Amino acid sequence: MTESNSRRNFLQKSALASLGLAVPGALVKGQMPRSAMTPNFVVKNGRIRQSIMGWCFNKAFDKEDSKKNTLMLAQHCKDIGLVAMEGISRDLYPDVKKMGLDISLVSGGHGFKNGPCNPKFHDEVVEGLKGAIDAAVEFDCPSVITFTGMRYDGMDDEEAAKRCVETWKEVVPYAEKHNKTLVLEHLNSRDDSHPMKGHPGYFGDDVDFCVDLIKEVGSENFKLLFDIYHVSVMNGDVIRRIDQYKDYIGHYHTAGNPGRGELDDTQEINYPPIMKAILATGYKGFVAQEFIPNWDDPEAALRHAAEVCDV
C-alpha cells in the first residue's frame, strides 16, 4: 500500500468512527448481531453480576410445565455464567438456590397495577411488601420490588404522591430491621402495543419524579429500580441519569428498545457503554436481563445478551 493510500484508508476509518459507524473488522459490540456472537459464550469478566427476570421466558422452553420451564432456564443461566434469577415463583426459590444461583429480587409483594397511589390498595401493599421482605430474609435476597400503581378516575397527583410516600414509610422500618432494600420501579406509559412492553396509566412513569419520591421517603433502604428500557422510552439520556442518580439506584433491568427484545443490532440502546457507566459508579448489585426473546432459540438470545453486557 502506498503512503497516500494508507493515509486515505486511515482518514476514511477515522471519519466512520467519528460518526459512530462500525469500521470493517471492528464490530460495535453493543449492536452485535446474532451472527457475530461467540459460539457457546460463557461469562468471562463477571464484573456485571448478571441475573434474569424469569417471566420473560415463561413459555420459551416448555409451554405446558412452568416449573420445568423455569428450571431449564436456570440451567441455561448456570451454563452461560449468570449468577441469579428473579421474577419466578417463590415455590421454586429452593430449587434455584440448590443449583447455585442467587435470588436477586423478590417480587409478588404487590403488582404494578395495585400500588399505593390508590388508597384502596393501602393494606394490600403494606402486607404484601412485608411478606416479600420475609421471603427475602429466608432466601438471602437483598431487594424487594415495589411500584406506584396505576392512575384512577378522580386522582389528584399531589395527594397520590403523598400517599405513596406515607405508605412506603410504613414499610421501610421493617426493611431496615431486616437489612433489605425496597426498590421502586419506573415504568413507561408510552408503549401500548403489548401488556408488558408498556403500561399506559402508570403513575410513576417519569424517572425524575420517582427519584423525588425516593428522596421524600429518605431511607438508604428505599431505592430506584433503574430499568434501562423504560428509562430509554420515557426519558432517554440514560448514561447521564445513571451518574446523576447513582446514590439512589438499587437495581437494574435491561431490554432492547424498541420492542423490548434482544440486545442486538435491531435496537437503539448501546449496552456496553451503559454497563461501563454502571461499573464506574461503584455499583455492586445485580443487573437483570428482562427482554422478551424473539429469536427462534431463546437460549442463544440469553447467551448473546450475556456477552453484550460482560464488559
**26 and 139 in one domain?**
no
**6 and 91 in one domain?**
no
Cα 115 from Cα 106, distance rounded (Å):
16
CATH number of domain containing 276? 3.20.20.150
CA distance to 53, 120, 155, 234, per residue, from 84 (Å): 9, 34, 38, 28
Cα 229 from Cα 72, distance rounded (Å):
26
Q: What is the pTM of this model?
A: 0.90
pLDDT at position 60: 84
**202 and 152 in one domain?**
yes
**141 and 20 in one domain?**
no
Query: In which domain, by residue range, is 2 found?
Result: 1-31
pLDDT at position 30: 61
pLDDT at position 119: 98
**219 and 124 in one domain?**
yes
pLDDT digits (tens, 9 = 90+) for 215-265: 999 999 999 999 999 999 999 999 999 999 999 999 999 999 999 999 999
**80 and 66 in one domain?**
yes
pLDDT at position 31: 76
pLDDT digits (tens, 9 = 90+) for 160-190: 999 999 999 999 999 999 999 999 999 999 9
Cα 171 from Cα 219, distance rounded (Å):
11
Strands, DSSP E only, in the chain?
Answer: 49-52, 84-86, 102-105, 143-146, 181-185, 222-227, 249-254, 286-289
- Parallel/antiparallel/unpaired status of strands 102-105 and 84-86: parallel
Q: If the chain, 311 residues long, is cut into consecutive pieces of 10 residues, what is the mean pLDDT of each piece?
A: 44 40 44 92 98 92 84 97 98 98 98 98 98 98 98 98 98 98 98 96 98 98 98 98 98 97 95 98 98 96 98 97
**178 and 44 in one domain?**
yes
pLDDT at position 29: 59
- Residue 149 Rama label (left phi>0; alpha psi -120 to 50; beta): left
**84 and 123 in one domain?**
yes
